[in-house]
Amino acid sequence: MLANLHRRADLALCGVEFAAMLVAGIAVVAAMLLVSADALLRYLFAAPLAFQLHVSEFYLLPASMMMAMAWGYRTGGAIQITMLISSLPQRLAAGLLRLLLAASAIYMAYLTWRSFLVFERALRRNEVVMGVIDWPVSLSWVWIFAGCGLLALRLAMDAIAPRLRPIGLAHE
């Protein structure tokens, strides 16, 4: 019963991670197109895109990094040092891995909470980055707490999984 519930929750989280990864991919392509257009307009017509730097720096680049974190972790985009774990007895190694995953999930949940507080404060104060266009600071923090929150959920799901799986192996 619990294994089935975990499997269904995990599949739902995989779908959310995939959607977030698509958002990250779109952000990368948009940043690339904006930077390229800005360079072409700047050097060919001496008419740069005045807004490009702010959009790329405060919205597209954070979105591209943060929204892909959970998907990247789940699909193997994590650095793994397995020398210690592989030398331990399997039961001890599994317990240690679960403990480390839970600790990582708690830390990412803390980062999610702290970044949400920054978002909420910037939204409440109507903070902006002044330029040609006044860019709302709060919208740049949406990507931070969303990405951290997704990674916290993924780490927690892996920590309580009925069966541990090596990082980067696809789900059954």
CA distance 45 to 48: 8
Asked whether the predicted pLDDT for residue 136 surpasses 50, the reply is yes
* Residue 168 pLDDT level (bands cut at 50, 70, 90): low
Residue 166 lies in a domain: no
Residue 7 lies in a domain: yes
Residue 169 falls inside a structural domain: no
Q: Which pTM does this prediction carry?
A: 0.89
Instruction: Give φ, ψ of 79 to 5 degrees.
Output: -80, 130
Residue 114 — pLDDT band, cuts 50, 70, 90?
Answer: very high
pLDDT in tens, 44-69: 999 999 899 999 999 999 999 999 99
Give the position of tokens 């991919």.
Answer: 25
Q: Residue 124 is which amino acid?
A: R
Q: Please report the pLDDT score of residue 172 as a whole number.
A: 42
Which range marks the domain in which residue 36 is found? 2-159
Among candidates 124, 165, 149, which has minimal Cα distance to 20?
149
CB 154 within 8 A of CB 17: yes
Q: What is the mean pLDDT of residues 82-94?
A: 84
Structural domains of the chain, count: 1
- DSSP letter (8 states) at residue 81: -
Q: Is the pLDDT of residue 25 over 70?
A: yes
132 pLDDT band, cuts 50/70/90, is confident
For 93, 101, 126, the CA distances from 84, given in Å and listed in that order, are 9, 16, 49
Residue 171 lies in a domain: no
Q: What mean pLDDT value characterizes the chain?
A: 91
3-class SS at 111? Answer: helix
**How much is the pLDDT for 50?**
87
- Distance between CA atoms of 60 and 3, rounded to whole angstroms? 38
- Rg over alpha carbons for the chain, rounded to the nearest Å, is 20
Q: Would you say residue 167 lies in a domain?
A: no
DSSP 129: E
